[in-house]
Amino acid sequence: MKTPSTTSARLAGRIKHLTGSVARDILSRTQDKEIISFAGGLPDATLWQDLKLPEVPPAAYQYGPSEGEHSLRSILAERNNSLGLPATPENTLITSGSQQGIDLAAKLLLEPGTPLILEAPSYLAAIQVFSLFEAELHTLAVDTDGICPQALDRLLTETQAPAVYLNPTFQNPSGKCYSLERRQQIAAVLDQHGTLLMEDDPYRDIYYDEAPPAPIASFLKSAPWIYFASVSKTLIPGLRLGSLTCSPELYDDLLKLKQASDLHSNRPAQFIAASMLADEAERAERIEGLCQHYRQKRDSMQQALAQHFTDLATWEIPSGGMFFWLDLEQSIDLYAALEKTLEKGVAFMPGSPFFTEKCDQGCSIRINFSLVSPKSMDKGIKILSDAVRDLQQASTCVESIA
Amino acid sequence: MKTPSTTSARLAGRIKHLTGSVARDILSRTQDKEIISFAGGLPDATLWQDLKLPEVPPAAYQYGPSEGEHSLRSILAERNNSLGLPATPENTLITSGSQQGIDLAAKLLLEPGTPLILEAPSYLAAIQVFSLFEAELHTLAVDTDGICPQALDRLLTETQAPAVYLNPTFQNPSGKCYSLERRQQIAAVLDQHGTLLMEDDPYRDIYYDEAPPAPIASFLKSAPWIYFASVSKTLIPGLRLGSLTCSPELYDDLLKLKQASDLHSNRPAQFIAASMLADEAERAERIEGLCQHYRQKRDSMQQALAQHFTDLATWEIPSGGMFFWLDLEQSIDLYAALEKTLEKGVAFMPGSPFFTEKCDQGCSIRINFSLVSPKSMDKGIKILSDAVRDLQQASTCVESIA
């Protein structure tokens, strides 16, 4: 995805590691077309089609504090507190989406060659940021319950990585949710090594069976931590609002990094979010409706996949979040498949951008089910399965001729 | 301003160069008090007290493109075009304030030890970002017409700096505006060396005599450039919206850096700005009113300064922007003066944060005149001049005793 630069300008060394997001490239190619897109991670716009934003007071028009509005920080801190995190407004920072939280943490922690441990697969836009800051990325495979605590222990001893980045709750892209026991074991390993945990938790509220276990950070006794949350998945993504909460001793540096990045986040958005989140009962009711809505979509998607993909791939039914993760039985060129499906008006995400260059990438597909209407799902999944089947047969053909 | 970190976390080397903004520290100390503040660079909130924001369509609630809304990019590109810049929507990127533009440019250009040339004094939050990215900062003094082209030529030869950062139009903090001739000469020097120009231009629209000359970037023939603009000073600062326009070959990398930083800027704000800027005649009328309003404030401030500071300092009357820059006749500890004036409810900005550590800092004060009401100006300037006079007399006393 890297276009070689032809400028006469002398650029920083990190730019050779700069990649775009494949998902956003696909999105921009499909923006003006009628397309069935399983590619992005977009909420369903029908959920807010009748929503009018609350009025914004002129007080929100002036420059504001870099840490964000106290009202919103209080609401988000209280929420994090209820999850077991030692959160107060004083260690909670409003960010321009949790993506900015990742950028601030990268600035805080990473220099060329800093070892950093991630899951395989991991969130592609986090890989993008960590690569840009020239970290040396090490990965651990995710099984049904999460990464293996013993493997983490060994890798920490081996690499002396100062930090670990995890997305343990309905992970993007795999949909996996770490068990309570794993969370406690991982926290113990991090405490033992004194390793900083970056925990990215944007999907926590969207669950279809039971509520997920508490954040890993809530089980830490001494290791430093940064916990990223977002309102993009449950409120309004266009606001670009998220938050980070962290060990108090990290807060001052993260606040200065925020200030240097953009002074502060959009203030009307902060007033809107604070107003929409102020009433806890109302918030709970809205989230409950959202979960019901997406649960139906998950079930429709499972039905379509069972119909068209049973002979082609294996997968687990996600108990939260917005994605299915399909492991294909036979490897094919997924970008060739993508070209075929785009011609027929269907977009999906090949799995490779969710892996670092070094690790085993298998042959997987991420399927988003939050955006597309149930009636388009079957049509789109059929087109996708046809493309995969064609390419598999072509490759089997080549193999048998050879 | 650097608080030593006491965390057990291992932080990146750049964090030892991380400073907060003195202006924002003073702002946060004075936030809940009735204070006469000459410290910040805040627009006058009375200008928008009756403003109701235009309604935002639900289309703005979804995730959007990283480059920003096409409608807003078109309006801003057209505006830049009218200034002589080769701007189109395709080389215009919406940023979260021009502060974010500086952050993106720093990511694009700077690694530890990269030489970079700035004005002395320069915009303090730019110094903050460039220091964080560990550039080696070199400065050139600003005379009445701008930096000296011959001195720039020599410093470029000596340092081989790949980039120069300038704020040539009603500079923050000095209020200086580069002459047309200087702009053309500087462009020629940059072309000759192939040096990238970062031109920061947030105050261009706010002028009190005649319109300022075209941007330096408009005179470049071959050198790469990035031009930062902002709507914070002329529309609504709380929106946190700015833009950058650049040499086309730099755009793709800057767009990916934007994507990695926060995916995209707040969308409702982009719809609001596009709606408020759509009608050019209306925009021109609004800016004209704004200039009249601030011209009166500048004149009131000049009157107060002439009354209380004539024996203490020299200054030029700014022909645009939001600041007076006072050179004190006799050096004093301005932070001691600030403690004194804060006790009496007056805030101002000592000049030193606008200089890099290495360069001669003189003894200057930046006075903002856009925020405070004319009737409070005389009172506040009197308190400030009393504090300066007391400290000067105390220091003269000590000298004559010694």
CATH topology of domain B13-48+283-401: Aspartate Aminotransferase, domain 1 (3.90.1150)
pLDDT at A90: 97
Task: Determine the pLDDT at residue A398.
Answer: 61
A188 touches chain B (CB under 8 A): no
Query: How many Cβ pairs within 8 Å bridge chains A and B?
Result: 243
- Mean pLDDT score, B85-105: 97
- Judged against a pLDDT cut of 80, whether residue B9 lies above it is answered with yes
Of B6, B48, B257, the CB nearest to A58: B48
Sign for the CA dihedral angle at A23, A29, A32, A35 comes to: negative
Q: Nearest Cβ partner of B129 from A62, A260, A265?
A: A260
Cβ atoms A201, A349 nearer than 8 A: no
Q: Quick one: A389 exposed, middle or buried, by C-beta within 10 A (0-12, 13-18, 19+)?
A: middle
Range(s) within chain B of domains with CATH label 3.90.1150.10 = 13-48+283-401
Which of A45, A64, A194 minimises the CB distance to B238? A64
pLDDT of residue B2: 42
Candidates B62, B127, B368, partner chain A, best to mutate (most A CBs within 10 A): B62
Cβ–Cβ below 8 Å for B109 and A10: yes
Is the Cβ pair B65, A28 closer than 8 Å? yes
Nearest CA in chain A to B42: A63
CATH 3.40.640.10 matches A64-279: yes
CA distances from A196 to A187, A380, B10, B66, B332 (A): 10, 42, 8, 30, 45
pLDDT higher than 80, residue B402: no
Examine the pLDDT at B25 and tell me if it is beyond 90. Answer: no
User: For residue B1, what pLDDT is reported?
Assistant: 40
Its sign, for the CA torsion B282, B288, B294, B297, is: negative
| pLDDT for residue A400 | 58
Return the residue in A49, A116, A265, A266 with the most chain B beta carbons within 10 A, the one to mutate for interface testing.
Answer: A266
Do B163 and A9 lie within an 8 Å CB cutoff? yes
A32 touches chain B (CB under 8 A): no
- DSSP sequence for B98-111: HHHHHHHHHHHH--
Mutation choice for A interface testing from B2, B5, B18 by most A CBs within 10 A: B18
Burial of A285 (0-12, 13-18, 19+ CB in 10 A): exposed
Residue A26's pLDDT is 75
Answer for the pair B66, B264: CB distance below 8 angstroms, yes or no: yes
d(CA B251, CA B88): 11
Residue A111 · residue B12 · CB < 8 Å: yes
CA distance A307 to chain B (A): 31
**Residue A89 near chain B (CB below 8 Å):** no
For A249, nearest residue in chain B (alpha carbons): B7
Question: Hey, are the CB atoms on B51 and A61 less than 8 Å from each other?
Answer: yes
pLDDT tens readout for residues B170-192: 999 999 999 999 999 999 999 99
Chain B residues with CB under 8 Å of A24 CB are 66, 259, 263
Predicted local distance difference test score (pLDDT) of residue A2: 42
Backbone torsion region of residue B136, taken as left when φ is above 0, otherwise alpha when ψ lies between -120 and 50, otherwise beta: beta
Q: How far apart are CA A130 and CA B313, in angstroms?
A: 50
Q: With a cut of 70, which residues of chain A have pLDDT below it? A: 1-6, 21, 23-24, 27-28, 30-33, 360, 397-402
- Give me the mean pLDDT over the B8-23 stretch: 86
Whether residue B261 lies within 8 A of chain A, CB to CB, comes out as yes
pLDDT above 90 (res B260): yes
Q: Kindly state whether B64 is in contact with chain A, defined as any CB-CB distance less than 8 angstroms.
A: yes
List pLDDT tens digits, range A329-359.
999 999 999 999 999 999 999 999 999 977 7
CATH of domain B63-279: 3.40.640.10
Question: Which residue shows structure tokens 């940021």?
Answer: A129
Q: Which residues of A touch B11 (CB under 8 A)?
A: 108-109, 253
Q: Best of B159, B220, B259, B272 to disrupt the A interface by mutation (most A CBs within 10 Å)?
A: B259
Q: How far is A311 from chain B (nearest CA, A)?
A: 35
Tell whether the torsion through CA atoms of A337, A342, A345 and A347 is positive or negative.
Answer: positive
Q: What band does B4 get if pLDDT is binned at 50, 70 and 90?
A: very low
Nearest CA-CA partner of B229 in B261, B263, B199: B199
Task: Tell me which residue of B100, B400, B49, B143 sits closest to B231, measured CA to CA.
Answer: B100
Residue of A49, A52, A66, A47 whose CA lies nearest to A270: A66
Contacts with B19 (C-beta within 8 Å, 6 or more apart), sequence order: A256, B1, B2, B128, B131
Ramachandran region of residue A61, left (φ > 0), alpha (ψ -120 to 50) or beta?
alpha
Q: Which of A40, A45, A265 lies at the smallest CB-CB distance from B240?
A: A265
pLDDT at B232: 87
Mean pLDDT of B42-60: 91
Residues 6+ apart with CB under 8 A from B358: B137, B139
- CA angle, residues A21, A22, A26, in degrees to nearest 5: 120
Q: Do B238 and A268 touch (CB under 8 A)?
A: yes
What pLDDT, on the 0 to 100 scale, is given for residue B31?
A: 65
Residue B390 confidence (pLDDT) above 70: yes
The mean pLDDT of B136-151, rounded to a whole number, is 95
pLDDT higher than threshold 60 for residue B3: no
Whether the pLDDT of residue B30 is over 90: the answer is: no
pLDDT for A24: 67
Cβ–Cβ < 8 Å for A199, A243: no
pLDDT tens string B337-356: 999 999 999 999 999 999 99
Domain(s) of CATH 3.40.640.10: residues in chain A: 64-279
Q: Which of B340, B40, B241, B270 is nearest to A65 (CA)?
A: B40
